[in-house]
């Protein structure tokens, strides 16, 4: 199973709904960071980091805006701070999955991500990525027009998937798919009727009552019954990407939704009530500022070397307090399952001796 199949995008609840299913967001990372930094860390690792980068923190570097490319920059920063993907690209493990095929987009992305983590980034690298990869293979992103960050993210993940997964082992028979998870669609009254499908993108909403015209016909009594429709995740990925619905159709117009959505920074429990816990921690977020006809994209990312949050606004990068991460501009949320990386069990940041940049 390649890494790309471990990424999943989920379209979440409408903006007026809360994603908070578990305990409130806490200062867990600050506490864990203090504990880890107080432990005897291999001096060689600290010395190597200092000798390589001085006082700079690897991965904390901005991207030049090449003419309305803020949507692209925000997504790239979120992906660069996805440890599983960054390690896969920086250590060139993707080449084992390319199997002598040309993976232009993957190669260019790997070069760009590696440059961000090693302070070798130059504006020319992101310009070449835009021209030689994005514009070449994604005609919809050519030119200098503003685009939707989610559309770009989905396109980019699809391109990576096509590059590295074409020869991967996928489920056989009717279940064969490029997706990374399953969804269960349930139409219920009593008894329960289930349909299982492989999916790539899932739209999760509230339980919806069926209208009288769409009433559910009970197979036992043959009578129409008032039923409910609900979607739920059947399997969970290592990386869970949630998209908040920020646009609403009103007649022929589309309005921006700026409702503040409360979501946990740590401990998002995606398990059902009667199963083992599946805890997820937020590590990156893409924000949209503005309205339907114009705006700007930024990113908040938690660096896995020092455990601190940073605000990425194209070329500008500034530290941001954890308490200011949840905003009305939150658009795409990136969560990582706690046991996805062995060195990150219990949500402990990777820090010096464990980080892939020292491998």
Q: For 62-84, how does the pLDDT look when each residue is reduced to its tens digit (9 = 90+)?
A: 999 998 899 999 999 999 999 99
> What average pLDDT does range 4-21 have in this prediction?
47
Can you read off the two tokens belonging to residue 211?
């209208």
Cα distance between residue 357 and residue 348, in whole Å: 17
Q: Which residue has the higher pLDDT, 239 or 352?
A: 239
**pLDDT-based confidence at residue 211 (cuts at 50, 70, 90):** low
**pLDDT-based confidence at residue 51 (cuts at 50, 70, 90):** low
Assess whether pLDDT exceeds 60 at residue 207. no
Most confident stretch, 169-178, 199-208, 343-352: 199-208
Show Cβ contacts of residue 44 under 8 Å, excluding neighbours closer than 6 positions. Answer: none
Cα distance between residue 45 and residue 356, in whole Å: 12
Q: Which residue has the higher pLDDT, 222 or 5?
A: 222
Most confident stretch, 188-197, 248-257, 318-327, 348-357: 318-327
> What average pLDDT does range 188-208 have in this prediction?
42
**pLDDT-based confidence at residue 250 (cuts at 50, 70, 90):** confident
**pLDDT at residue number 64:** 94
**pLDDT at residue number 269:** 82
With beta carbons less than 8 A apart as the criterion, state whether 135 and 141 touch. yes
Assess whether pLDDT exceeds 90 at residue 100. no
> What average pLDDT does range 118-138 have in this prediction?
91
**pLDDT at residue number 24:** 40
Cα distance between residue 297 and residue 63, in whole Å: 12
Q: Which residue has the higher pLDDT, 132 or 215?
A: 132
Cα distance between residue 144 and residue 132, in whole Å: 15
Cα distance between residue 188 and residue 171, in whole Å: 28
**pLDDT-based confidence at residue 295 (cuts at 50, 70, 90):** confident
Cα distance between residue 301 and residue 312, in whole Å: 8
Count of H-run helices and E-run strands, the chain: 10, 17
Task: List pLDDT tens digits, range 109-126.
Answer: 999 999 999 999 999 999
Residue 263: C-alpha distances to residues 12, 23, 244 (Å): 11, 10, 11
Q: 47-68: b or e for each residue (b if 16 or more CB lie within 10 Å)?
A: eebeeebeeebbbbbbbbbbee
Cα distance between residue 263 and residue 21, in whole Å: 9
Assess whether pLDDT exceeds 80 at residue 175. no
Percentage of the chain surpassing pLDDT 90? 29
**pLDDT at residue number 348:** 39
Residue 81: C-alpha distances to residues 88, 160, 226, 310, 322 (Å): 12, 17, 46, 11, 16
Question: Given this structure, which CATH class describes domain 3-180+237-358?
Answer: alpha beta
DSSP string, 241-260: EEEEE-EEEETTEEEE--PP
**pLDDT at residue number 35:** 39
Q: Which stretch of DSSP H or E encloses residue 117?
A: helix 104-118
**pLDDT-based confidence at residue 187 (cuts at 50, 70, 90):** very low
Show Cβ contacts of residue 188 under 8 Å, excluding neighbours closer than 6 positions. Answer: 216, 227, 228, 230
> What average pLDDT does range 310-320 have in this prediction?
95
Rounded to two decimals, the pTM is: 0.71
């Amino acid at each position: 199973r390649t890494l790309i199949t471990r990424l999943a995008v989920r379209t979440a609840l409408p903006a007026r709904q809360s994603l908070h299913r578990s305990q409130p967001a806490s200062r867990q990372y600050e506490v864990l960071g203090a504990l880890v930094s107080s432990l005897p860390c291999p001096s060689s690792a600290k010395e190597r980091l200092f000798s390589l980068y001085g006082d700079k923190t690897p991965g904390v570097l901005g991207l030049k805006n090449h003419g309305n490319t803020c949507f692209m920059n925000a997504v790239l920063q979120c992906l660069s701070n996805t440890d599983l993907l960054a390690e896969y690209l920086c250590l060139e493990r993707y080449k084992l999955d390319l199997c002598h095929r040309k993976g232009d987009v993957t190669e260019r992305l790997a070069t760009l991500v590696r440059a961000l983590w090693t302070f070798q980034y130059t504006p020319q690298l992101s310009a070449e990525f835009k021209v030689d990869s994005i514009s070449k293979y994604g005609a919809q992103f050519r030119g200098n027009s503003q685009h939707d960050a989610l559309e770009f993210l989905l396109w980019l993940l699809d391109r990576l998937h096509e590059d590295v997964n074409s020869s991967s082992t996928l489920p056989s028979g009717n279940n064969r798919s490029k997706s990374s998870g399953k969804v269960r669609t349930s139409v219920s009254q009593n008894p329960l009727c289930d349909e299982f499908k492989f999916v790539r993108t899932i739209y999760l909403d509230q339980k919806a009552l069926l209208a009288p015209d769409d009433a559910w016909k009970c197979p036992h009594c043959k009578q129409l019954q008032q039923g409910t429709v609900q979607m739920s995740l059947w399997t969970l990925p290592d990386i869970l990407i949630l998209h908040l619905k920020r646009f609403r159709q009103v007649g022929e117009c589309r309005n921006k939704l700026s409702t503040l959505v409360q979501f946990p920074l740590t401990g998002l429990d995606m398990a059902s009530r009667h199963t083992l816990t599946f805890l997820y921690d937020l590590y990156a977020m893409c924000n949209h500022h503005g309205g339907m006809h114009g705006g700007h994209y930024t990113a908040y990312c938690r660096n896995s070397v020092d455990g601190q949050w940073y605000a990425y606004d194209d070329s500008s990068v500034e530290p941001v307090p954890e308490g200011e991460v949840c905003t009305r501009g939150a658009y795409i949320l990136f969560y990582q399952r706690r046991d996805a990386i062995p060195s990150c069990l219990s949500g402990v940041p990777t820090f010096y001796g464990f980080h892939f940049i020292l491998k």
